[in-house]
């Protein structure tokens, strides 16, 4: 039987749906997460709240890989926002920035995959733990989707720039 979800866990889960939903919306609508757009701003707020609420949660009793991925996502977002302001790589900046936003979306879902597969369905979860083949295979598939999606996104950005 999976661990019961706490009040903070339920709140964290509900908050975490926000960056997932607006991130997907942004990718579908704009092919990117743009911080200047309302959906991009909602994504950033949702990601920050999701990561912050995760710090109060731990199935292992302390700092875990999900916390580390959350910190990494925040660092990546910070770098993605900062690189747009720096004149170091003016031609590469839009690509690096957008790659960072996409990578943060990838990172957001890695712990979510493990948590979902080890908790649902409630009566008999699909996976026994984060080390299960199903969780590892799903994360690997998610990595493949990210790599293909990021490559396509960079190609699309380049084709838009040539116009």
- Comparing CA positions, the residue from 73, 28, 34, 33 lying closest to residue 50 is 73
CA distances from 94 to 35, 39, 91, 156 (A): 12, 18, 7, 12
Which ranges of the chain have pLDDT less than 70? 1-4, 58-60
pLDDT at position 60, please?
66
Q: How many CB atoms lie within 10 A of CB 27?
A: 17
pTM exceeding 0.75: yes
φ, ψ (nearest 5 deg) of residue 130: -65, -20
- Comparing CA positions, the residue from 113, 108, 118 lying closest to residue 49 is 108
Task: Write out the two tokens for 129.
Answer: 């733990």
- Give the whole-angstrom CA distance, residue 139 versus residue 52: 23
pLDDT at position 13, please?
87
pLDDT at position 1, please?
45
- Whether the bond between 151 and the residue before it is cis, its omega within 30 degrees of 0, is no
């Amino acid at each position: 039987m999976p661990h019961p979800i706490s009040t903070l866990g339920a709140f964290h889960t509900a908050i975490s749906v926000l960056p997932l939903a607006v991130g997907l919306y942004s990718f579908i609508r704009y092919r990117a997460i743009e911080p200047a757009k309302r959906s991009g701003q909602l994504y950033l707020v949702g990601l920050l709240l999701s990561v912050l609420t995760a710090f109060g949660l731990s199935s292992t009793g302390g700092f875990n890989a999900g916390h580390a991925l959350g910190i990494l996502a925040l660092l990546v977002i910070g770098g993605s926002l900062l690189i747009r302001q720096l004149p170091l790589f003016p031609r590469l900046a839009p690509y690096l920035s957008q790659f960072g936003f996409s990578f943060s979306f990838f990172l957001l879902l890695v712990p979510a995959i493990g948590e979902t597969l080890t908790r649902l369905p409630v009566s008999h979860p699909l996976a026994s733990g984060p080390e299960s083949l199903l969780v590892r295979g799903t994360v690997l598939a998610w990595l493949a989707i990210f790599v293909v999606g990021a490559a396509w996104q960079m190609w699309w950005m380049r084709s838009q720039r040539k116009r």
